Amino acid sequence: MSDTTSAAYGDLLDRVGRLSNVSHASELLSWDQQVMMPDEGTPARSRQLSALSAVRHDLLTDDELGRLLDDLEAAGLDDERRAVVREVRREQERAVRVPTALVERISAASSEALTAWREAKAEDDFGTFAPHLSELLDLKRRYAEHVDPDRDPYEVLFEEYEPCLPLDHAEDVLTSLREAVVPLVEDIRAADADLATDTFTGTFAADRQDGLMRDTLDALGYPWERGRLDVAPHPFSTGTTYDARITTRYDEDDPIGALLSTVHEFGHATYTLGLPDDAYGTPLGEARDLSIHESQSRLWENHVGRSRAFWERFLPRVVEAFPGVGDPSVREAYEAVNAVDPSNLVRVEADELTYHLHIVLRFEIERDLLRGDLDVAEVPAVWNDKMESYLGVRPETDAEGCLQDIHWSHGSFGYFPTYSLGSVIAAQLFDAAAADLEGLDDLIRAGEFDPLHDWLTDRIHRHGKRFETNELVRRTTGEDVSADAFVDYATAKYGELYGLQG
């Protein structure tokens, strides 16, 4: 590397470091807003966040950054440095291409849409939300056009959340999921099996749930010297490799909800914690976008937290924390945490299997809306038709139908698919881990999580954004991103649970 190139690369890292640190500062402000901030703090916090966002935009659109990227792209860097330049360029390009005024309009329109959505949901009146949804679709179409006028706008928007997996690849995965899950759910419904869904009923005090969560996180190996657990209305995880925080929520009727949600967020946190300290502030120290992030949370939630082996280990702890549940068997616990309920209309409460159909439905609707193949006014009917077709159940209200999620009121079109992508990647990774780590089930049963944790850090976490999504999965599993592993896993698991024909 020439001295000039080396100096340019150093300058790039300085600028990227500042950008990254400003982003992490914003994330901390958001964490505080959701976890600590007093009720009336919002006006100041909103302005602080918007100032940091403006600072970020100015740093990204600085002409000198563009020149550095031009020079470095032409300089013949090694693979690792080229990956850094690629990742910075992707962000810089969007920031430069989309006018600030449009970003601000979208932000203002989302604010208004959010208020309208809350009202519409509370009053079950889609008409209140519809004009805001139309406006946001229009603005986001224009946003996509600025980024690239020659491409499908939905494809462009999808890349906000999953920039490194082509949309047609993602769409193949979602189609495979639909084609496999719809008949599997039909078989389950037809089986009319009687699973032990009432294993954990009663009232479960929040402070005892909190103790159980801390014990569970201890047992999973969560490093408290680099994290914390707090309560938030919508659980999330955030932070850096030095400080990766988890939030959860306690429902006094349902300790298992909090437990699996905490294990899910633990999965996100392990990814953040597994990023290399010495690449902090560069793309090599940052997580590979939403699908891979979600693969880590789903792997821990579903493949660990919903496994029989996990319940052999953890059921005694749950019983100790809540003696009122009596003396359930591991089988009863396993059934309770895995029962499939197609009649559940609400995505965030859906089981591991039907969840995908909720996602496929949203994906198809938002894609068609963006492409102009569907009118906003038709959304409620199409939503309900698809619910009936995929899940055999029809919402009676839009509040429990197309108004249930906050995402569209944020203008987030293209986000939903990353949930299912994460889940199928989780299945692929878990299979690969099971092939590499002898007796993975026994390890889980013995409460020995380090080998799995280390394997994931070695294969996924430590690379940061070094590889693009499919390459990362292929390097680790030998396969492209695909629904196959999930479908095999689900077919076997639910076949056994529901006594289906193999």
Cite the active site residues. Answer: 265
**Contact of 310 with 441, CB cutoff 8 Å:** no
Per-residue x/- track, 256-295, a second copy (CB under 8 A)? ---------------------x--xx--------------
CB of 292 to a second copy, least distance (A): 21
Beta-carbon contacts of 270 under 8 Å, excluding residues fewer than 6 positions away, are 296, 300, 453, 456, 457, 461
In the bound state with a second copy, the residue whose beta carbon lies nearer, of 223 and 392, is 223
Angle of CA points 200, 203, 207, to nearest 5°: 105
Q: Which segment (28-36, 72-80, 402-410, 436-444) binds a second copy by CB under 8 A?
A: 28-36
CB of 13 to a second copy, least distance (A): 12
How far is residue 279's CA from residue 287's CA, in Å, rounded to a whole number? 11
- Ordered DSSP codes for 425-472: HHHHHHHHHHHHSTTHHHHHHTT--HHHHHHHHHHTGGGTTSS-HHHH
Query: Tokens 């992490």 — which residue?
Result: 24
Q: Is 356 a known ligand-binding residue? A: no
Beta-carbon contacts of 101 under 8 Å, excluding residues fewer than 6 positions away, are none
How far is residue 418's CA from residue 363's CA, in Å, rounded to a whole number? 10
Residue 348 binds a second copy, judged by CB under 8 A: no
Residue 38 binds a second copy, judged by CB under 8 A: yes
**Window 211-250: residues binding a second copy (CB under 8 A):** 223-228, 240-243, 245
- Spatial CA neighbour of 209 closest among 250, 248, 247, 245: 250
CB of 40 to a second copy, least distance (A): 5
3-class DSSP assignment, residue 502: coil
CB of 203 to a second copy, least distance (A): 25
**Contact of 413 with 431, CB cutoff 8 Å:** no
In the bound state with a second copy, the residue whose beta carbon lies nearer, of 4 and 50, is 50
3-class DSSP assignment, residue 74: coil
How far is residue 38's CA from residue 36's CA, in Å, rounded to a whole number? 7
In the bound state with a second copy, the residue whose beta carbon lies nearer, of 281 and 395, is 281
Q: Is 268 a known ligand-binding residue? A: yes
CB of 469 to a second copy, least distance (A): 25
CB of 293 to a second copy, least distance (A): 18
In the bound state with a second copy, the residue whose beta carbon lies nearer, of 91 and 124, is 91
In the bound state with a second copy, the residue whose beta carbon lies nearer, of 51 and 446, is 51
CB of 25 to a second copy, least distance (A): 5
In the bound state with a second copy, the residue whose beta carbon lies nearer, of 25 and 376, is 25
CA 419 vs. chain centroid, Å, equals 5
Q: Which segment (43-51, 177-185, 288-296, 462-470) binds a second copy by CB under 8 A?
A: 43-51
**Contact of 227 with 455, CB cutoff 8 Å:** no
Eight-class DSSP state of 489: H
In the bound state with a second copy, the residue whose beta carbon lies nearer, of 48 and 491, is 48
Where does residue 502 rank: exposed (0-12), middle (13-18), buried (19+ CB within 10 A)? Answer: exposed
Query: Total binding residues for a second copy by CB under 8 A?
Result: 41
Which whole-number Å values give the CA distances from 91 to 5, 16, 161, in the listed order?
Answer: 21, 11, 12
Which structure tokens are listed for 320? 């100790």
Among 4, 6, 42, 100, binds a second copy (CB under 8 A): 42
Residue 500 binds a second copy, judged by CB under 8 A: no
**Window 44-103: residues binding a second copy (CB under 8 A):** 44-45, 47-48, 50-52, 54-55
Q: Is 294 a known ligand-binding residue? A: yes
Sites of contact with a second copy (CB under 8 A): 17-18, 21-22, 24-26, 28-29, 32, 36-45, 47-48, 50-52, 54-55, 223-228, 240-243, 245, 277, 280-281
Q: Which residues line the annotated binding site?
A: 264, 268, 294
Q: Which residues line the annotated binding site for Zn(2+)?
A: 264, 268, 294
